Amino acid sequence: MPYTKDKPSIYFEKEGNGPALLFIPPPAMGHLTFRYQRKLQKWCTVITFDIRGDCRSEESDHPINMELLIKDVLRILDTNEIKKAIICGYSNGGVIAQAFASLYPERTLGLILIGGYYKVSSFLLRQEYKLGIWVAKKRLINILALALSKNHFRNSDAANEIYQEIRKTDPSSLVRQYITGLKYINTNNLEQINVPLLLIYGAHDFYIHKYQYLYEEKVKDVEIAFIEKSKHQVPTKYYNECNAIILNWMKNKLLL
């Protein structure tokens, strides 16, 4: 199995050839969040991974913070000898993705945020984070695994596979991951994103939509796409539409 060499070992999967497209998942969900985005390997190198403490990756040897999460993305690129990659983050993974793009513009070819936001300011979004923290503190990982798997995948085999992976997640690391995402504010760093930015939102993911406007104001090159009928679970429940949007954007921006 492919892992980064230094500790904690981060599990990743790499498939395909061409420009690298690295996906960052939400807390606990890991690489299988993007099982359907593997289809993009026909046009690029698709990299998925488990955040430290989640699924197959080792527990964090230090309290998790944004700096460590960003460095883990860098470690995966370095392990695979990738100089530049398109960084795609889903939900809280998008917080890490944009922080990475702001700090390492020389390693970022493009930025994609699925259900993206630059800080947790929405009441409903904040409540989701607080619930995640409570569940992790109570060590109710099996219940979390069941909820996340059923909420994201219609296919029972896919749901069961990610359920089994989420159950491996370390509760203490997960608490720190949720707290880091809840407290992190990327507002002042948006102007440092100097690569093309693609925002993908579910048309019914209403309390996330408001974030698009500051991205438009602060980032020079922004495109926004809404997926009809979708709520937040864009990459898992509306993957054909999601993949088509990503591919068309890459072809236009990167001339694939």
pLDDT digits (tens, 9 = 90+) for 20-77: 999 999 999 999 999 999 999 999 999 999 999 999 999 988 899 999 999 999 999 9
Identify the domain containing residue 125 by its residue range.
Answer: 12-254
Does any domain span residue 91? yes
Percentage of the chain exceeding pLDDT 90: 95
d(CA 46, CA 49): 10
- Alpha helices per DSSP H over the chain: 66-79, 92-103, 123-137, 141-152, 156-166, 171-183, 206-209, 212-218, 234-237, 239-254
37 by DSSP, 3-state: which?
helix
CATH code of 123's domain = 3.40.50.1820
Does any domain span residue 4? no
Does any domain span residue 7? no
Residue 183 pLDDT exceeds 70: yes
Residue 155 pLDDT exceeds 80: yes
Does any domain span residue 138? yes
pLDDT tens-digit map of 191-201: 999 999 999 99
pLDDT bin (cut points 50, 70, 90) of residue 5 is: confident
Does any domain span residue 219? yes
Residue 206 pLDDT exceeds 90: yes
Number of domains forming the structure of the chain: 1
Does any domain span residue 6? no
Instruction: Write phi, then psi, for 106 (nearest 5 degrees).
Output: -70, -15
Residue 253 pLDDT exceeds 90: no
d(CA 222, CA 242): 17
Two structure tokens written together for 64: 């998790």
